[in-house]
Structure 1
Amino acid sequence: MTRTHGAVVRPRQGAAAGVPVDEPAQPDRIRRPADAIRFAASCALLAAVMLLVSIAQQTTHGLQTDIAEGTAHAPRLLLSLATLASSFGVLAVPVAFAVERLFHKDGTRVAIALLAAAIALLVTIGLDDMVVSSAPGGVLDSLIWGGTATAPVHTDIAPVIAFVSAVGMAGRIRWQAATWTMIGLAALTGLTASYASVAALAATYLLGRAIGHGTLYAVGTPNPRPSGAAVVAALERLGLRPGRAVRLGDAAEGGTEETRRYGVVLAPSPAGPDGVDDDGGDIDADIDRDFDGDFDGDRGGRPLPGRGARHGEWDLELRVLDRDQQTAGILYRVWRLLRLRGATTGRTLRSLRRSLEQESLMAYAVDAAGARTPRLVGTSEVGTEAALLAYEHVPGRRLGDVPADEVTDALLTDVWRQFRRLQAGRLAHRRLEDGAVLVGDDGRAYVTDLRFGEIAAGDLALRLDLAQLLTTLALRTGPERAVRTAASVLGEEALAATVPLLQRVALSRATRAALRHRRDLLTRIREQIVRLKPETEAAPVRLERFQPRTIFSIVALSIAAYIVIPQVGSLDFAHLMSTATWWWVAVALGAAALTYLAAALMLMGFVPERLPLWRTALVQVAASFVKLVAPAAVGGVAINTRYLQRSGVRPGPAVASVGASQLMGMATHILLLILFGFLTGSANNATKDLAPSRTIVIVVLALGLVAGIALTIPKVRRVVTARLKSMFSGVVPRLVDVLQSPKKLATGMGGTLLLTVAFVVCLDASIRAFGGSLHWTSVVVVFLTANALGSAAPTPGGLGAVEGALTLALTISGLTAETATSAVLLYRLLTLWLPVLPGWAAFAYLQRKGAI
């Protein structure tokens, strides 16, 4: 018999076959996250092999030579036997396994594996017959190893590897050993016969694995999950006799729960009329024997399963752990593991057995600690692909489903009491969201969802649990009530120790998503705690190994280096130094530096709030670094918006202020272009060719006609209107605020004009540095035209578009091609390339100071 928490549940006889289970039909095939992960890993390793053989050709050739010399001393008879065995067995063993699977009615999996093998065969033939002949050299030569091998991939074994990867031999040790032995012998044969190199074999293995798992994920693997009937039937191993069952939760309605849940009603015990069961014991006495006392006066006895028809809708709630779901969300967990310090993260990947043991141990530990939780009746494996945990069913609702008027202070206090018992037992729940707190029909709180729990938890994990539950309840009831009820149970000292951990990164994904709509909630929680404990240390604890912006900085710097180094390398510095007039170069450098001050004034003028000049100018320097990894019209907007938010401007007004400055800058730019275009045409006939040609006019009119027709379509008009509203929402009110302050208006418009003047002076000085000379109106038109193209171009910093436009316009304006090219290169050197390192330093400094 089975003893469960003080009550004896005697085994009941009878089969569970035919137990009705109400559940939707399961899909015939499923896509397992593990297949996608293995496919991605194989592709990444294949790329690594390609990179390795391209940069370490001598090493790979040396390894191949050593293997060839070593096998040359092996007995020829042994090599001949290996060749004979592999030639026959490399196909015979997989075929035999396929036949065995067909006898077990697993033909779908065999068909998918054959599809993967066919794809692998076509790919390898294509690589060997087409790619080698059309693209010899480089990596292919390294794979082929100097021409002594005949193929970059092993055509004979790649399909077999793909077949084995897709057919699934997990748990079949003998078949796995036989298959991989034959594949290994075939690889050895290829090495000794110089048919394939070591690098080619590695590429073959990874290619076969990638195709096998990729096919399996694309087509879907036959669903290995046991049916609800099989799950319920497994309860007999626990001495329980199910009567009926139904699938519970969102998953039954098309949702995506990670675990399946079933509600089960137990069948009446086969007892005689005298109330005695078949082993002579008294049923009611066995079932009702329970804890008579309660813990701290709030844990009354509850009947154990066995009489569900008389004590509620369900007797048991089953949680099913499916093996294919164990890798669900693994990429996110790996990201959290890498990003957060080890003490703050749990195990990333658990086997089915490990997950079953972990949740079972946590359930028993929570009950032993005195916290109220549904009792774990028992656990059992369900075949080889699933396991179940049978909990006593507690009628009730999740905390998130309880109406606000029913979430009383008494209920919150009860939640904190259960949490205190977890803390006293050093048990970390790690997922205390509103779905992890069950409010029973009796009005009491129960702790559920223990799958991520941890026993013997450290202080940091326990404090993180407190921060999570505090935030969860604050989202539900407000910071004031959450902090007040917590303080009444836990004390002010415990809450004060949690303040440094009230960070978004420390919370669960669902909680962080909820905080997007209540961005000030964590701050308000801290304020409430500090009011109770004024001497609280508020400095945040460093939980992250690195921040996402660190990765952004590294990627951005790498891209910038990739773009800048070739550009700078193309410059003829000797020619520039020998022909340039250096005092004009100094003027150009000073004008380039002035642009950052002008950009700062432009931004400050359209922000009613007060901004420091030097820090605002430093932000513009940092923006010069960001422009190299984003289009010119995007990078500056993003960093300025971020800067305003960090300076205390609310997100909406911050976006509106940057939009206002951009809108006024664009309007000024267009007006100056029209004005100076007219002045240039009347003052300098040499620039008449800058006037639009007939072709350009036709193109512009055609584009305008297409745009006008498109705007007559209601759906297109709605999309355009929505985009414009989102882009310039709040801009007009911000402009009205600026217009009410003549000083702000003068600062903004002065900065806008100064920015244009500084760039024009820089370009003009660059031209004069190489002996060129143009009328100043022509220089203005050339700059405005090129700047407009650079802003519209999708390339980082307008690379390519600005250089081409400037060089063409200066040549048309009368400069020689050599002078125009040199001037443009100097101008771009001063305004784009040289500021990269100072911009990166400013970006890092401002991040460190929390300014962006």
Structure 2
Amino acid sequence: MTPAHDNEVTRPVAASPGEPGGQDPAVRAEAPAERPAERQTGGVPDGPDPTAGASAVVEEPSQPQRIRRPADAFKFAASVAGVAGVLLLVNIAQGTTQGLQTDIREGTERAPHLLLSLATLVSSFGVLAVPVAFAVDRLLRREGLRVAVGLLAAVIAFALTVALDGWEVPAAPGGVLDSLIWGGSQTAPLHTDITPVIAFVTAVRMTGRPRWQAVTWTMIGLAALTGLTAQYASVSALVATYCLGRAIGYGTLYAVGTPNPRPPGTAVLVALRRLGLRPLRARRLPDLNEVRRYDVAVEDCERAGHPAGERRLEVTVLDRDQQTAGMLYRVWRLVRLRDRSTRRAVRSLRRSLEQESLMAYALHAAGVRTPRLLGTSEVGTEAALLAYEHAPGRRLAELDDEELTDGFLTDLWRQLEVMQQARLAHRRLERDAILRGEDGTAWIVDLRAGEIAATDLQLRLDLAQLLTTLALRVGAERAVRTAVEVLGVRTLATAVPLLQRVALNRDTRAALRQDRGLLTRIREQILRLEPEIEVAPIRLERFRLRTIVSIVALTIAAYIVFPQLSNVDIGGLVARAEWWWIAVGAAGTVATYLAAAWMLMGFVPERLPLGRTLLVQLAASFVKLVAPAAVTGVALNTRYLQRAGIRPGPAVASVSASQLVGLAVHILLLVLFGFITGSTDNATKNLAPSRMIVIVLLAVAVAAGIAAAIPPVRRIVADRLRSMFSGVVPRLVDVLQTPRKLVTGFGGTLLLTAGFVVCLDASIRAFGGELAWTAVVVVFLTGNALGSAAPTPGGLGAVEGALSVGLTISGLPAETATSAVLLFRLLTFWLPVLPGWAAFAYLQRKEAI
């Protein structure tokens, strides 16, 4: 038995369910004598009197008076997005919005004047009178706190609307204002007479009172209509006002909280009696995945001729307000994954109850060892319960290592085999869904996400999930070995393409952060048994998070770069450009590919052909169009080394060694030339650093110190460095034993920087500019560092912005600096794309990458 919670209270069933915990009177559970028993068959006797067991008590912690509903936060975010969407729409489609306003004005001119005047009179009085009447009604019903929350939302809405009206008129773009208000009108874009009413109505919650809702929103609609007919409001302004009022109302509700509608344990026992059960006592268990659980003892009347005994049930309670918990995450998974293998994002209480019930009955009918479902019932209007037979045992997360015997693991795989044959997918085979009985057998629990008539993909996802869950506890070798004994190698091999983090549940992905190589070890264990299977992972994602970041970053980059281009006379610059210096810049670009090939060859003890290695570096110029440059170079070079016969571990170590040395040389050169450019006394060759270099170095040092003082950040950095040096240092030692390799590697690193500096300097001189070569070096090193850190393909936006600013600060005219940067990026980024594509296609045809 799980220890009782702190701050427990013991409640008799006879107590009113609405009393403790501040329950809403509208959802109090009815006493059994007040309504007929609503029975559902589920293997329970029909005979017991539903009023029996009235002396039963419930041990559970005191429930909070108010709760924050996830749905309120979601609706608040949606309303704020609506305001932003209106502002964006009226800025983009100004002609459309103004045309719509003109059509409305012409249409209202034909409407009967008397009717419009009557609507104006009714709305002017009713828009305030109806909410006031509702507030008085709530006060008479002793719901003053609800009215107070609504008034708070109205006050916030009024103050915010006035503040926004005062700020938006001078600050907003003229096109936005013209669309929000009528042409040259001096009225405010947001309306202080409607916004507070909408906020009040939202925060006071009229749900369940349809007549009040209908009258209130009719008055608000009439007020909006009169604003349109009187030509002091526009459609866009009214939509923005509505979204703002709703946002303030939902935001206030989420901040203050709403009365707790969850029925207490006493109401749960009342519902159990309606199922024909006789509860004796109940105790609240720790919540599992945001679901309430109770350990309930009921009378056992099945033994005829013997005194009545007792048996234990585990009762799961689904609360309506928790059905929206995790909605944003489910929406994200639904949009992100290609296959419709995710649960539906929006779930009703009835849908959740039916889904779990159906899965429980299907598993029991198939012969899977799972607790038997005795019955289901609603608990008031805000919850529902599922009563299961108690399965004595402990969950996988609570088991000691010695309890995870091969017999238990084998039995667990047998349960999965039965599920797979019946085409039942569990969808959450994590540590909380697996139970070890007192006799050492395996049980399957937590059926909320289950699916009947599952697809092949869903069944394979279950297999991959359980493999990973067990491997996290017993290791990859034991998990695979026990699975093969039951399922066979061929079945287990079908999970190999799905052993990827995106295919697993959220808690499992979090656990894999502590052991990033686990999935690889599971694949290797399976491949040793079945080496001829196809191991290419299935593409489950429609897009990656990195893609979204890249799109946003590219948008920002375009916003930065395009204004620069608009101020540049491209034709005039081409006519004035000195082609000799352009040729020098192109030669510097070619040298960078040769340098990159030497750099890789120098840190690989094995012999690599220069020609093919050079083509790989050229192919990287094509691949970096779709990913950040720092990522594509590493991935492509690692793939090339593996195809060349180098094992994965040494291949990764070689590429990491070249990258680490390149980073170290880059930092040393930046510091060195930063000191040189700081020289202000040429006669004494003073090498004092410039003030800007000192500020940058101090800022970096302070940021590093703050990061080192944060334990999680310190651990992450230490783990990354440890994993990097664990393979890189031995590889560097191998290189140091061969002077020729050492010269090739370090020479390629220096030549790479020199080639880019020559190209940038030639691009400056091509347009008549001239800078000290030390300044050019510093500007390039700084821009290249920012470009490597940027999430955009090839550092787009970041490199252009950094180089342009750096050259301008160094003394070049803005027009010359922009032209030089554009030429430099043309030579180093855009022109190599086509030959890079040809090299990429050739290497793929030759199976070199």
Bucket of the pairwise TM-score, normalised by the shorter protein: 0.7 to 0.9
> How many Å separate the matches in 2 of 1:143 and 1:318?
54
* 1:263 corresponds to which of 285, 288, 295: 295
Change (3 A) 1:445 1:673: closer
Matches within 5 A, 1:673-752: 730=725, 735-752=732-749
* Alignment of 1:144 onto 2:206: no
Query: Per-residue deviation at 1:204?
Result: 0.8
> How many Å separate the matches in 2 of 1:135 and 1:721?
44
* Alignment of 1:621 onto 2:621: yes
Q: Secondary structure at the match of 1:344?
A: coil
Query: Per-residue deviation at 1:463?
Result: 2.4
Query: Per-residue deviation at 1:286?
Result: 11
Q: Which moved more, 1:389-398 or 1:10-19?
A: 10-19
> How many Å separate the matches in 1 of 2:524 and 2:621?
36
Letter in 2 for 1:555: V
For residue 98 of structure 1, what is the aligned residue in structure 2?
A: 135
Query: Per-residue deviation at 1:59?
Result: 1.7
* Alignment of 1:359 onto 2:356: yes
Contact kept, 8 Å, 1:606 with 1:660, in 2: the verdict is no
Matches within 5 A, 1:527-676: 527-533=524-530, 535-602=532-599, 605-606=602-603, 613-614=613-614, 617-618=617-618, 621=621, 637=630, 640=633, 648-649=648-649, 657-671=658-672
Query: Per-residue deviation at 1:163?
Result: 1.3
For residue 415 of structure 1, what is the aligned residue in structure 2?
A: 412
Contact kept, 8 Å, 1:344 with 1:543, in 2: the verdict is no
Change (3 A) 1:337 1:609: farther
Q: Secondary structure at the match of 2:74?
A: helix
For residue 260 of structure 2, what is the aligned residue in structure 1?
A: 223
Q: Which moved more, 1:331-340 or 1:550-559?
A: 550-559
- Post-superposition Cα deviations, 1:671-705, rounded to whole Å, max 9, x if no partner, equal 56667988x976xx7xx999769xx56x8889999
Contact kept, 8 Å, 2:603 with 2:654, in 1: the verdict is no
Change (3 A) 1:565 1:604: farther
For residue 301 of structure 1, what is the aligned residue in structure 2?
A: none
Q: Which moved more, 1:716-725 or 1:651-660?
A: 716-725
Contact kept, 8 Å, 2:424 with 2:454, in 1: the verdict is yes
Matches within 5 A, 1:93-172: 93-132=130-169, 135=172, 137-148=174-185, 150-172=187-209
Question: Structure 1 stretches of 5 or more lacking a match?
Answer: 270-281, 289-305, 628-634, 812-816
For residue 50 of structure 1, what is the aligned residue in structure 2?
A: 87
> How many Å separate the matches in 2 of 1:702 and 1:123?
41
* Alignment of 1:284 onto 2:303: yes
For residue 85 of structure 1, what is the aligned residue in structure 2?
A: 122
Q: Which moved more, 1:721-730 or 1:230-239?
A: 721-730
Change (3 A) 1:843 1:72: farther
Q: Secondary structure at the match of 2:281?
A: strand
Contact kept, 8 Å, 2:673 with 2:778, in 1: the verdict is no
For residue 67 of structure 1, what is the aligned residue in structure 2?
A: 104
Q: Which moved more, 1:557-566 or 1:425-434?
A: 557-566
* 1:183 corresponds to which of 189, 213, 220: 220
* Alignment of 1:465 onto 2:458: no
* 2:249 corresponds to which of 203, 212, 221: 212
Change (3 A) 1:29 1:587: same
Change (3 A) 1:625 1:708: closer
Letter in 1 for 2:424: L
- TM-score for the superposition, normalised by structure 2: 0.82
Query: Per-residue deviation at 1:208?
Result: 0.7
> How many Å separate the matches in 2 of 1:216 and 1:750?
65
Query: Per-residue deviation at 1:406?
Result: 2.2
Q: Secondary structure at the match of 1:246?
A: strand
> How many Å separate the matches in 1 of 2:455 and 2:465?
16
Contact kept, 8 Å, 1:320 with 1:388, in 2: the verdict is yes
> How many Å separate the matches in 2 of 1:487 and 1:241?
46
Contact kept, 8 Å, 1:603 with 1:658, in 2: the verdict is no
Identity of aligned residues (%): 57
Q: Which moved more, 1:727-736 or 1:33-42?
A: 727-736
Query: Per-residue deviation at 1:836?
Result: 4.7
For residue 829 of structure 1, what is the aligned residue in structure 2?
A: 822
Letter in 1 for 2:129: A
Query: Per-residue deviation at 1:449?
Result: 0.7
* 1:516 corresponds to which of 510, 513, 517: 513
> How many Å separate the matches in 2 of 1:8 and 1:64?
68
- Post-superposition Cα deviations, 1:515-536, rounded to whole Å, max 9, x if no partner, equal 3344443344344444555553
Change (3 A) 1:706 1:528: closer
> How many Å separate the matches in 2 of 1:265 and 1:626?
61
For residue 284 of structure 2, what is the aligned residue in structure 1?
A: 247
- TM-score for the superposition, normalised by structure 1: 0.81
Q: Which moved more, 1:21-30 or 1:449-458?
A: 21-30
Q: Secondary structure at the match of 2:296?
A: strand
> How many Å separate the matches in 1 of 2:233 and 2:352?
43
* Alignment of 1:436 onto 2:433: yes
Q: Which moved more, 1:162-171 or 1:553-562?
A: 553-562
Query: Per-residue deviation at 1:121?
Result: 0.9
Q: Secondary structure at the match of 1:381?
A: strand
- Post-superposition Cα deviations, 1:635-675, rounded to whole Å, max 9, x if no partner, equal 65555555566663587886565333211332245456667
Contact kept, 8 Å, 1:657 with 1:734, in 2: the verdict is no
Change (3 A) 1:548 1:716: closer
Contact kept, 8 Å, 1:161 with 1:212, in 2: the verdict is yes
Letter in 1 for 2:480: V
Change (3 A) 1:458 1:381: same
Q: Secondary structure at the match of 1:588?
A: helix
Aligned residues: 785
Q: Secondary structure at the match of 1:284?
A: coil
